[in-house]
Structure 1
């Protein structure tokens, strides 16, 4: 069974911190506009209110705002206090302004959003009991008071429950993504270990055989043949060292900066005048790995096919996007996308990005990938103890 991210090892109930989720926080602040219904009764019957009552009305509303912000910033048992306080404030405030029935719904939403179902239902019952009690005591048994109050409370309670489910799904999805990234890292390490084993096993065996052959030839005074074998031993040793370095580089230079540095060095070794600029820190792992793969693919194409002598590489970010630009001054016929380019387009499309190839003046690759808030955010699991 899938583990509930809102469950601790001791199976105690949790609440969620709405501020930890960007979407929930935006909804929370926007929802305050609905609290303005609190003032409708005052506007409709302004002449019936004394100055003292008007001051009390505004004091009650200010208290509600304070409790609202306390609720969306609280965790643990502390969240229970502002919820109950909103219910009491709404019930008592009805003695001055019946418009306080608009505030019960906020307590209902927080109950549904923060708590496990059985605790949420208990809080809703308490909320409804307070509404009915205030109506009985204050002689407000009217559809105009209880009707909107009860309807709003029920609907916002249900909305709070669905918002909690959405948050749980987001937590689970992020956890799965992290597990996939960890598995990918483990698979890469295993690949490097396997390559190292196969590479060194074959190469060292060859070195041993050639060294023994050179020794035997020298003993028989076949010095020219022995010299040739020794030369091949030296060449094979250098080749093996180079291949080992390449394998180790895949482990040592993890990350975008290290990968691009390696690619830049390869271009310079092939006599390309290369400029590299990186202004991109803390990218989401999926975005960073995609940029590394795209850079390797495109620069490999340049090394194989470009007849130019200059390459520029740039990775920049703004508030919404990360942009990869790789250009060279080689001349080419009209580029026809093959499997390599189509594979690059597919990777970019998976991240809702765009890929453009311009060959009007040299060849330039431009990739733009949006940095979605759901990808960049690090969702925090804040737990509470049971109540």
Structure 2
């Protein structure tokens, strides 16, 4: 039956007892005919009715706690109890409805509707065989209405449960993809930060070894000192990057960078407007600002740096310019990393050498 059922449980784990078994409160209507006509029933018939009811509740419990694909036998037993007990009491008109509820929840597609039709046929058949014609409206009417109504509730419960599971899976997939994207971003950050430094350390270490082999100890000592300086610089950059990941947004990052420039005696002009960025955009522009200003600190002779952050109806724009002397722009790992990040987010990157260096990073504006 696995091709026409599913694996969900009707009873929800962790829910209060009344949540799963509260609907059985209405099954007490099963006893109303016996209570109303108690004198007409023998002791044996009363005992049989109670035993049948207990068996029905047991089957209900088992069908609720099992996966739908394994509940078929218990649903069939519930239906058989209703069919056979109609010979004894008309109260089974109430219990047929619970069978309809399980059919609506447990079965899929065309089989669900075939099972509902079979239930309606069973109700009609037992009424024909065991119910006085005068009592037909009082038996078939309630049995059919309750069965159809609870069938609808079972179907809605299945659809709602399916939607919730799909939503949970979607959220889990989004979280998983976000973790992958974050790992890739951090890996790229570390590559951009350390790639050049580690390559330089490797080359200078090899050069120092060659100088030692050649007996040029002074030159070897100079190279090892540069290796140590490169290592300290790389360590400082990694610490700043980690600190930025943990604490700083774009505005704070720009202010920290401006403070570093001022400590070096560079005049800084800041024009930072209030902008609303996605986390990916903010992370990208933080990296752009950090990389650009680090290049100024390391390689530029600039006396003045302008930093502008603004927003228009279509774009966010970050502009960094300095008045340093630029002979040639070399596209290394840093600039290539900036360009690829900007373009991945659908933006544009422009670098011009006009009376200094001007960097313009532009990202499309998005609703958050």
Give yes or no for TM over 0.5.
yes
The change in CA–CA distance for 1:90 and 1:211 in structure 2 (over 3 A counts) is closer
Aligned with residue 40 of structure 1, among 32, 35, 43: 32
CA shift digits 1:129-164 (9 cap, x unpaired):
111111111134432212111110000001111111
Which residue of structure 1 lines up, in the alignment, with residue 43 of structure 2? 51
Which residue of structure 2 lines up, in the alignment, with residue 84 of structure 1? 76
Q: Secondary structure at the match of 1:235?
A: helix
Which residue of structure 2 lines up, in the alignment, with residue 160 of structure 1? 154
Aligned with residue 123 of structure 2, among 113, 127, 131: 131
How many angstroms does 1:202 deviate by?
2.2
Once structures 1 and 2 are overlaid, which stretch shifts more, 105-114 or 143-152?
Answer: 143-152
Which residue of structure 2 lines up, in the alignment, with residue 187 of structure 1? 181
Q: Secondary structure at the match of 1:85?
A: helix
Q: Mind listing any 5+ residue stretches in structure 1 that lack a counterpart?
A: 1-7, 251-262, 264-292, 299-337, 344-387
Matches within 5 A, 1:91-102: 91-102=83-94
Q: Secondary structure at the match of 2:20?
A: helix
Which residue of structure 2 lines up, in the alignment, with residue 66 of structure 1? 58
How many angstroms does 1:59 deviate by?
0.6
Tell me the distance in 2 between the aligned counterparts of 1:136 and 1:239: 93
Which structure is richer in relative contact order (CA contacts within 8 A, separation 6 or more)? Answer: 1
How many angstroms does 1:75 deviate by?
3.2
The change in CA–CA distance for 1:125 and 1:195 in structure 2 (over 3 A counts) is same
Superposition CA RMSD, Å = 4.5
Which residue of structure 2 lines up, in the alignment, with residue 237 of structure 1? 231
Tell me the distance in 2 between the aligned counterparts of 1:31 and 1:157: 13
Tell me the distance in 2 between the aligned counterparts of 1:211 and 1:125: 84
How many angstroms does 1:43 deviate by?
2.1
Tell me the distance in 1 between the aligned counterparts of 2:120 and 2:112: 12
Question: Contact 1:210–1:233 at 8 Å: present in 2 too?
Answer: yes
Tell me the distance in 2 between the aligned counterparts of 1:222 and 1:55: 107
Which residue of structure 2 lines up, in the alignment, with residue 19 of structure 1? 11
How many angstroms does 1:112 deviate by?
0.7
TM score, norm. by length of structure 2: 0.57
Residue 221 of structure 2 corresponds to residue 201 of structure 1: no
Question: Contact 2:75–2:102 at 8 Å: present in 1 too?
Answer: yes
Q: Secondary structure at the match of 1:97?
A: coil
Tell me the distance in 2 between the aligned counterparts of 1:125 and 1:94: 19
Q: Secondary structure at the match of 1:16?
A: coil
Tell me the distance in 2 between the aligned counterparts of 1:19 and 1:202: 59
CA shift digits 1:173-222 (9 cap, x unpaired):
11111211121121122112212221222213554687799999999x99
Matches within 5 A, 1:1-387: 13-19=5-11, 27-75=19-67, 77-141=69-133, 142-207=136-201, 230-231=224-225, 233-241=227-235, 296-297=246-247
Q: Secondary structure at the match of 2:11?
A: helix
Which residue of structure 1 lines up, in the alignment, with residue 309 of structure 2? none
How many angstroms does 1:118 deviate by?
1.2
TM score, norm. by length of structure 1: 0.54
